[in-house]
Structure 1
Amino acid sequence: MSDRKRVGDSDASKHQVTGSAPGVSAENNDGGYNAGIAVFSYIIGGIIVWSLIGWGLDYLWGTRWFVLAGALLGAVGGFYLSHMHGLTSTRKNAGDRPAASGPSKDGKH
């Protein structure tokens, strides 16, 4: 996802919208509450959706284990999405900003 930012034209609207997760502000003034709700939504939503898909496959094929596999897949997928949106990282560096991830800019370790 790209980091889209939109700044209002007037001085009264100083909220920025980023391309991270829905409901998570750029300043993180909410202390992680919105991030926690987003993580919870991703995981529970994934479990529900993939369990229903598994239930449908169980119904069609006469099996009984796809619903469990769907629930596990949904939980893992929800956690993966929340991790990719940067909601599960708690690492901070000196500037109280999230620590950089990935290779360094100079190409060394």
Structure 2
Amino acid sequence: MAKPERHPRKTIPAASGPTNSAEEAKDGKDAGYNAGMAVFSYIIGGIIVWSLIGWGLDYLWGTRWIVLLGALLGAAGGFYLSHMHGLTRQGSSSGGSAADRGPSQDGAQ
């Protein structure tokens, strides 16, 4: 028996990315929205998890205040995580700080 011939597979060229500025602007808006949702998730998730831990400790030890401490610790931890991931920095429309942009262009020194 003769083996059938194998044809090489056709390769599909990779997409080159967004083709117009409207799609790029949409990506910028989505990035801000996604960062905001990540910050929200970190803070709310921290509050929920650490409140449950505090509630469990309150139940074991017969206290009533550790759940509040857990909620505060969770909020602070969530904000800390979002800050460490670079999600809480303030952006500027021109990019970079004023020192990075150089002297002003109005003639003032």
- Which residue of structure 1 lines up, in the alignment, with residue 87 of structure 2? 87
Supply the RMSD in Å over aligned alpha carbons: 2.3
Name the structure with the higher helix share: 2
The list of structure 1 runs, each at least 4 consecutive aligned residues, that deviate by more than 2 angstroms after superposition, is 91-94
The percentage of aligned residue pairs carrying the same residue is 74
- Which residue of structure 1 lines up, in the alignment, with residue 15 of structure 2? 12
CA distance in 1, matches of 2:31, 2:81: 20
Q: Residue 30 of structure 1: CA displacement?
A: 1.5
Gaps of 5+ in 2: 1-12, 18-26, 98-109
Gaps of 5+ in 1: 1-9, 15-26, 100-109
Q: What count of residue pairs does the alignment treat as equivalent? A: 77
* Alignment TM-score, normalising by the size of structure 2: 0.61
- Which residue of structure 2 lines up, in the alignment, with residue 6 of structure 1? none
Q: Residue 58 of structure 1: CA displacement?
A: 0.1
Return the structure number with greater relative CO, CA threshold 8 A, min gap 6.
2
* Alignment TM-score, normalising by the size of structure 1: 0.61
Closer, same or farther: CA 65–92 of 1 in aligned 2, 3 Å: same
CA distance in 2, matches of 1:53, 1:65: 12
